[in-house]
Chain A
């Protein structure tokens, strides 16, 4: 029997991450202790993501190994992308929906073999997978505990990996996965991540987690490799315009009312919805939505600096920008009426802009539409001028090159 611990679970890398965290800034991520930030502030952890290489423990992700004769059929029945078309060694980002086309979760599918896949997700999906596997010959194995995961992200991440791994990763294309070896351990390396930058994710047997970490940290020092926490990641993923479950949308399985649910179209994930495959969960509803167009759209918002500054100078303050990304519902207005809400936002140190991710109702979501974002200055709710932007805000060529 599995014992339910009364404290947070520890990831396989905890013996290495725990001594690094200076302010006990742990947070909860899928029942695990995860670092918000290792140092007192996250500035140089963020800088490592954009300018050198950052190492993030992403082991709390839920991971499932799906194999067997009908593995492809199961995934194609569950997710919105066309899994059958994926080549072996390819990784797909996709969401999955309920019958009404409302998003349940999102994650990646790595095709490891003809009949073998790994699915990652933000929330537990084992029961959902089993329910959908009815009538299919497929094995679904929860490997969340058995597999540790590290994200190695940043412009120098390739160089770090080439220095540490037995096989060079130069040939590994964007959203592809390969077998590799680090410190004598067989691992897999996928060219994926949550930063919108050049980066990799490493899938490591939990028992061999520490030697791999040690090897990366030892050789990575030459490249400025820096362990990074969630605060740094959050800024990077907002710049990259990547949607986050429980922050930017609620799972259809958790929402209390329909209005709290979102469809892939509403979250601007149109490119992940396939209509060139057979029936799958939500297909009929999504088809109808595609024809009539989404009622909402997930977009970027860029705050007008002059306007933002003016709101502060009237009370004799210098403009204060949120250094740590916020996760809250903040109203967005147009011409005096509320047209939506922002769900995440932060100051982008790289772009030098105050950015937010927002949900706007039709017809207010086209790029360059002038809107206003609510800001609170000295306990006063005010509105700063802003403009709708296409996502991502930041998209360096090296991400795919």
Chain B
């Protein structure tokens, strides 16, 4: 071994960097190895055309719990509050999702008076349910059997919080967890435009339509950490998602962690059935008795560790994790601002083509049968409105989130399908925003296989494991391995593939190194 550390962290995304920072702050010598040329993980910006940059996978910085902020001493830039967060496009006038319940109710009036009345209560209920989920996410998942006294006390706390939801709230939570999002929305609203928009927000990057069981939970999960009544927008920082990466890197370095990018790890080294270090693609062996991998569980366990160190049943469980990336990104270099609908307030965070529940569900149906949606759900954002530095002066950058475009195509092949997906998406945008395509100078489509190869996301899935009820909490990534330790002593997992999953930046990294999980 040419060199050795107390701990090696794989992946310099938010989770890996938080894990590294917390360990380094405890005085451990920590090395972070990142395969990509720059840190950031799914927050990472790329230059997709000369002079044009965008973070294809991150519209915002997600959500940072107070625990992560406290443990890392993160110095964040100021937050930016966009209003409306999302403008829902469709036939007839657009519907703007506004932050304040009063103006939002007023915006809903032309669509449905009943929905306008129902809005404030809906917003409050969703916030209450998401608040309970946040408490679940702040904790390591409960142990199914053999919990310690301390853990049982923690469960007791959760039980109290659950009771705090009140009788109606407790029932609603239990009802909502396995429920189709469509039913949750149908309970409250009648406007197709509103339901379509909320459904689109809820199933973003999920391989199911809103009529599939369990999607209400996806919707609620996305509300964690957001102010009541705000939908489709999380923490937006000055400087964009990259600013969070910069802050995380600065915190890690300040604590003494070493970050090396452009270094692929090829194999975890095991000696006497314990982790002994890693071997890089260049052949260097770096020693460490602790490795914390924020890569997906499949990659970490079956490719880097190797099945020979794992029991057959455990391998089967890892092989059975569903990933299922279904969204593509179309990165567009625009020669100027495209025509956008007039709505009250400033420029919107995003424009959404999800005009009805049925529309979104039909788009999902295609993916179910291995085809790309002929009428996809699309979310358009123009990050250069907030970060002019992403494009040359006078130019703009747009990112289309296109869903559903499955990783595995049944009748085609991604080498043939990319252009068709881009054409279909642009035609759909043109229909709602006439004159848009005339602004497009360059386009780059990142289909799920591209997200896999460029961002290390298995099957192009941001979640690193579909976020459905059976793959959450103590079943994430697999039952019996949800508390970050793996069957091989010294190897720990964090990242989106572990609890609490995608969207809570750094939380799994923090939980993985908390006392009692990583032995420090």
Contacts and interface: CB of A to CB of B under 8 A. Distances in A.
Interface of A: 73, 77, 98-99, 128, 131-132, 134-136, 278-279, 281, 284
Contact of A281 (B273, B312, B316): B312
Contact of B308 (A99, A279, A284): A279
Contacts of B312: 98-99, 128, 131-132, 281
Contacts of B311: 98-99, 281
Contacts of B479: none
A136 B306 CA distance: 10
B273 A135 contact: no
Contacts of B308: 73, 77, 278-279
Nearest to A100: B311
A134 B315 contact: yes
A135 B307 contact: yes
Given A77-B307, A132-B312, A136-B307, 13 more contacts: A73-B308, A77-B308, A98-B312, A99-B313, A131-B315, A134-B302, A134-B315, A134-B319, A278-B308, A279-B273, A279-B309, A281-B311, A281-B312
Nearest to A78: B312
B414 interface: no
Interface in B289-323: 302, 306-309, 311-316, 319
A40 B319 CA distance: 54
Nearest to B319: A134
A274 B315 CA distance: 23
Nearest to A132: B312
Interface of B is mostly: helix
A281 B315 CA distance: 12
B302 A135 contact: yes
B318 to A, nearest CB: 9
Interface string B56-70: 000000000000000
Nearest to A285: B311
B108 to A, nearest CB: 52
A68 B306 CA distance: 19
Contacts of A77: 307-308
B124 to A, nearest CB: 48
Contacts of B315: 131, 134
A131 B306 contact: no
A99 B309 contact: no
15 contacts: A73-B308, A77-B307, A98-B311, A98-B312, A128-B312, A132-B312, A134-B302, A134-B315, A134-B319, A135-B306, A135-B307, A278-B308, A279-B309, A281-B311, A281-B312
Contacts of A279: 273, 308-309
A68 B311 CA distance: 22
Contacts of A136: 307
A134 B307 contact: yes
Contacts, number: 30
A223 B309 CA distance: 52
A289 to B, nearest CB: 16
B310 to A, nearest CB: 8
Contacts of B306: 135
B256 to A, nearest CB: 35
A279 B315 CA distance: 14
A284 B487 CA distance: 11
A137 to B, nearest CB: 13
A202 B54 CA distance: 69
Nearest to B318: A134
Nearest to B302: A135
A135 B309 CA distance: 12
A349 B237 CA distance: 89
Contacts of A132: 312
Nearest to B315: A134
Contacts of B316: 131
Rank and list the top 6 A-B pairs by shortest CB-CB distance, nearest first. A99-B311, A135-B307, A134-B307, A131-B312, A279-B309, A132-B312
A135 B316 CA distance: 12
Contacts of A131: 312, 315-316
A78 to B, nearest CB: 9
Contacts of A281: 311-312
Contacts of B273: 279, 284
A268 B271 CA distance: 30
Contacts of B307: 77, 134-136
* Most-contacted residue by chain B among A134, A136, A281 (CB, 10 A): A134
Contacts of B314: 99
Contacts of A134: 302, 307, 315, 319
Nearest to B307: A135
A131 B302 CA distance: 13
A131 B312 CA distance: 7
B312 to A, nearest CB: 5
A126 B307 CA distance: 18
A194 B307 CA distance: 34
B271 to A, nearest CB: 11
A128 B312 CA distance: 9
Interface string B309-345: 1011111100100000000000000000000000000
* Most-contacted residue by chain B among A98, A135, A278 (CB, 10 A): A135
A278 B307 CA distance: 12
Contacts of B302: 134-135
A252 B450 CA distance: 44
B216 to A, nearest CB: 35
Contacts of A99: 311-314
A43 B314 CA distance: 50
Contacts of B313: 98-99
A77 B308 CA distance: 7
A28 B312 CA distance: 31
A136 B315 CA distance: 13
A134 B316 CA distance: 9
A99 B308 CA distance: 12
A90 to B, nearest CB: 23
A279 B305 CA distance: 13
A281 B307 CA distance: 11
A132 B319 CA distance: 12
A73 B308 CA distance: 9
Nearest to A280: B308
* Most-contacted residue by chain A among B308, B309, B314 (CB, 10 A): B308
A296 to B, nearest CB: 23
A98 B315 CA distance: 13
Contacts of A73: 308
A71 to B, nearest CB: 14
Interface string B34-45: 000000000000
A100 to B, nearest CB: 9
A281 B316 CA distance: 13
A197 to B, nearest CB: 36
Interface in B268-299: 273
Nearest to A287: B273
A99 B307 CA distance: 13
Contacts of B309: 279
A161 to B, nearest CB: 39
A132 B313 CA distance: 9
* Most-contacted residue by chain A among B307, B311, B316 (CB, 10 A): B311
A127 to B, nearest CB: 11
A73 B312 CA distance: 14
B315 to A, nearest CB: 6
A87 to B, nearest CB: 23
B297 to A, nearest CB: 14
A131 B306 CA distance: 14
Nearest to A131: B312
Contacts of A135: 302, 306-307
